[in-house]
A = this chain, B = another copy of it.
Amino acid sequence: MVGASRTNMKEVASRAGVAMSSVSRVLSDHPDVSPTMRARVLAAVEELGYHPNMLARSLRAGQTMSIGFVVGDISNPLLAEITLGAETALREAGYSLLLTNSENQPGRDAEHIQLLQRRRVDGLLLSLASETDADTRAALAGLEQPFVLIDRELPEQPEMWAGAALSDHAAGMAAAVHHLLELGHRRIGLILGQPMRFSRERRRGLEHAFAEQRLPPSYIVLEGHLNPEHGRQATAHLLDDAEPATAIVAGGNQLLIGVLRELERRELAPGRDVSLVTCDEIPLSELFRPPIAVIQRDNRDLGRRAAELLLGAISGAEPRSDVLKTTFVPRASCAPPAVRI
């Protein structure tokens, strides 16, 4: 590919009767180009039938037309959907996706960022395992390529930070909690993952809903890891509490699996013995009996937006973050609190 575009550039230079460096300057929108030079080069591009943008892009020094993607766990349907959205948008723009999987270990993120930098990717999409890990932050500070975060916020903004594609978790959570409060629940348990943006925003939505209804904060929030075991243990904790939770919100599909296992073990049915809401739709939430209420978002769109922000940054756009909506879908897993006999 590089060979082909150098040939193209040579042909353009020869047709225009100018140096190759002049062609390069025109095509990369260098400010130091006279109008005459610009016209000559673009005329040659047109005569030769090249698409100037495509040509310019592949001519820009150091471009590999590849984007690195650092993802926590591709086998999580949530991240697989995000990857699908990003890969489609990048491929349409002529970029290939280099995928690395950190298995949710923050230490691997820094390694992978450096690996992708050595492979000279043109930019990075990051679904980091930690927002505060020192090695990760050092690796980000050392980047020479723009990067876009997916549903993550950093304590600082390194030089090459190009924005973030974020989900409005607080709005969907507030809607879910309003629904539970209206059904009569007061003791609501929220099970969260690691202390990252998605956890903070979900907690904020919960607190906001209680405050809006001028209710005392009679909720319990349990933070941990986004895995089934934390979901199971937190559910046990919520049900064994002196004042047991009558409604549980699982802050992620991996947590939901643990919640359902613990309810099953205790022979408790969602919607009958305890109300249940989950975050992020999976076939399980719709097909489970009763169907499980869910805070939905369009994960494919999240990946696509992140890719678009990065492509914008590569073309010189200013850093920008997009916040995408979440929607609460009530289902039969939410019902008035069970009467205790």
A115 nearest in chain B by CB position:
B96
The tally of residues in A whose CB lies under 8 Å from a CB in B reads 39
Q: Nearest Cβ distance between residue A100 and chain B, in whole angstroms?
A: 7
CA distance A65 to B289 in the complex (A): 48
> Are B74 and A83 neighbours in the complex by a CB distance under 8 Å?
yes
Which residues of chain B come closer than 8 Å to A65, judged between CB atoms?
Answer: 119
> Are A97 and B98 neighbours in the complex by a CB distance under 8 Å?
yes
Which residues of chain B come closer than 8 Å to A76, judged between CB atoms?
Answer: 80
**Known A-B contacts A1-B119, A96-B115; A101 and B74 likewise in contact (beta carbons under 8 Å):** no
A253 nearest in chain B by CB position:
B283
Q: Map CB proximity to B onto A70-103 as digits: 1 under 8 Å, 0 otherwise.
A: 0001111100110110011001000011111101
Contacts of A96-137 to chain B: CB distance below 8 A: 96-101, 103, 115-116, 118-119
A101 nearest in chain B by CB position:
B87
11 contacts between A and B (CB under 8 A): A69-B99, A75-B81, A77-B77, A87-B101, A88-B103, A96-B115, A97-B98, A97-B100, A98-B98, A261-B287, A288-B288
Residues of A within 8 A of B (CB): 1, 65-66, 69, 73-77, 80-81, 83-84, 87-88, 91, 96-101, 103, 115-116, 118-119, 253, 257, 260-261, 264, 282-284, 287-289, 300
10 closest Cβ contacts across the A-B interface? A80-B80, A75-B80, A99-B99, A75-B84, A284-B284, A75-B81, A97-B99, A87-B101, A257-B283, A260-B287
